[in-house]
Amino acid sequence: MTVKILHNSRCSKSCETLKIVQEQGQEVTIIEYLKDVIAENQLTDILKQLEMNPRDLLRKGEKIYKELNLSDTGLSDDELIKTMIEHPILIERPIVISSKGARIGRPPESVLEIL
């Protein structure tokens, strides 16, 4: 299976993670999630693989997080997923997906577990 990475080329952690995956000799499909639309079912699948809920995958330091009041615990998982698809900058990065699972590359070395 080709390893996939949800990647932001302007993020140092994302670039470090991509380098680690490539150094392991893995064939990599790069998904530039800020440019390429992620479908709702894809994000739901990624969350399942990560064993996370949507709130845990949110980048809470982003300006849009505060503007949309995403700290509101009354928001449903579906609402948060739809918001992340509308505003992909809210999705924590990078995310690496392989046949062995998925990991967030923070720290970048954490993806070695699934390569």
Find the catalytic residue in 4, 11, 65, 85. 11
**Residues 44, 81: contact at Cβ < 8 Å?**
yes
Q: How many angstroms separate the CA atoms of 98 and 63, rounded?
A: 31
Which of 82, 25, 93 has the alpha carbon at shortest distance from 57?
A: 93
Phi, psi of 69 (to 5 degrees): 55, 50
Active site residue 15: no
Beta-strand relationship, 95-98 and 101-104: antiparallel
Whole-angstrom Cα distance, residue 51 to residue 115? 18
Give the catalytic positions in this structure.
11
